[in-house]
Structure formats: C-alpha cells, structure tokens
A = this chain, B = another copy of it.
Amino acid sequence: MSLKAAIIGGGNVASHFFQALTIKVVSHVFVRKIDSQEHFPKELLREDRDLSNIYVDLVIIAVSDDQILNVLETYLFQANQLIVHTAGAVNISVVLKKYRRCGVIYPLMTLSKSVKVAYQRMPILVEGSDAEVEDLVFKFAKLISQEVSFMDSARRKVMHLAAVIASNFTTALMLDVEEILDRQAADKRLLAPLMNQTIAKIFDGKVKNALTGPAIRNDVKTMEMHMRLLDDFPDIQQRYVLFSNSIQKISSEI
C-alpha cells in the first residue's frame, strides 16, 4: 500500500514532514506564497485553497495552532476526506466538528527549518476519530518514524505542556547561563558534556536521583557566594533563590 498525502502549510512542521516523507508520499503542498518557499519542490506548490479534486489518503494541516480553524473554514476538501492536524495543544474535536474522518499526528520535537532531525527516532503521538482512521494515521506516521504511539487529546495536551517546560524553560535557563558567562568571556560550550550527562541521568530512572549541587546538599556557603556573584543580575538571582528553595523542599521530602 502506497499512501499519498497533501500538506497545507509551509512552516517548520510542514517542511520537516516533507523532508521525512519525500515526494514519493507528498503530492501537493498548499502555501500562502509560492515565491518564499525554498524547502519544497516548485512543482508541488499551490497557492489556491481547492483540494476538492485532489485524491490523497490524508491531508495534513501543518499551520500555526490559531490558523487551523481558518484552514478548515476556507479550504475546500473532498467529501469524506481524512484530515489531520499536527498540533500538540489543539484538540482533535476542532477538526471533528467539521470533518468526521480526522486525526492528529503530533511530532514531539523542536523543529526549525535549518536544523536536521533524526526522523526515525522522533516520537510521534497519533490520534484518530475512529478505529479505522486511527489505524491509517498510525501506519502513515510510521512512514516518518519508528517511535509512533497513540495518545488522546487530553493526555497529548499534558505531554505538550511537559515538552514546553522541559525544552523551552531549559533553554530560558541557558539564556541566564549565556549572559553570566558572556560577561566573563567564558565559553558556554564547556558545559555541553555536563548537560548531555545531566539529560542522560534524568531519563535513566527517577529524576531526583540526578539532583546534585549546593541546594540539595544544603551548602549555604556556596549558595551565598553564588548570590553575590549574581548581584548584577537581579532576575537571575530571583530564579536562583526560587530553584534553590524548590530543590531544598524536595530534599526535605526525600
């Protein structure tokens, strides 16, 4: 069985899905402006909103969350077309209200156009409006990755929240680190092996076993020294206190 799909959208998810699926699977890519698209072959690009004569197994809506409804309302689809979106935080019901056969293919990954991803090991969470659809969506997602699992909208939203905390907030912490080290002309890349080891520890057993440092040891002297070093960075100082208190609270519970 050779599955075919059309993609609506030209952003990060759309371009990565196309790269993973290739022209063998993707027959059309609907974008706002053909001119500004370098990540798709020109012959696949369409600017119109009419998919009523396009025969594909599924249509993937890969646009920003707040544009999904707009696409559903302004594009023409085949009767009975299977339509999926790719958003972690958007309920399947947004599509289901308009199209009976629908689903979700959510890649649990930070995707930027220029950054390569190992698609075969990228976790994908799928959902379908019924068993037949779910089966098809699962098979389709398997064309992208080996790591496909079912997850309903309620649980997917929690996973999306967890991904935001894990990825975005860690990145925000690293902005603090960069700011502090830039002042010293010290290279943040010295911390790369430590961070890789930290991540490995975090996913190997319970997280609290990976917790080290002055707060968990209640090493007041070092924490006071750190606070002095942060005198010029009041925002970072505030986060330092918050995290140290939170870690000490955990330590008293262990």
Contacts and interface: CB of A to CB of B under 8 A. Distances in A.
B207 A199 contact: no
Interface in A210-252: 210-217, 219, 221-222, 225-226, 229-230, 235-236, 239-240, 242-243, 246-247, 250
Contacts of A118: 193
A194 B226 contact: no
B219 A66 contact: yes
Interface residues of A, number: 89
Interface string A179-219: 01101101011111111111101111011111111111101
Q: Determine how many copies of this chain the complex contains.
A: 2
Given A165-B176, A213-B167, A193 B122 contact: yes
A71 interface: no
Interface in A107-143: 108-110, 112, 115, 117-118, 121-123, 125
Interface string A136-172: 0000000000010101000101110111111111111
A184 B174 CA distance: 28
A222 to B, nearest CB: 5
Contacts of A217: 64
A208 B112 CA distance: 13
A218 to B, nearest CB: 11
B157 A210 contact: no
A177 interface: yes
A76 interface: no
Interface string A84-112: 00000100000000000000000011101
7 contacts: A155-B184, A158-B186, A165-B177, A166-B194, A173-B173, A174-B202, A178-B206
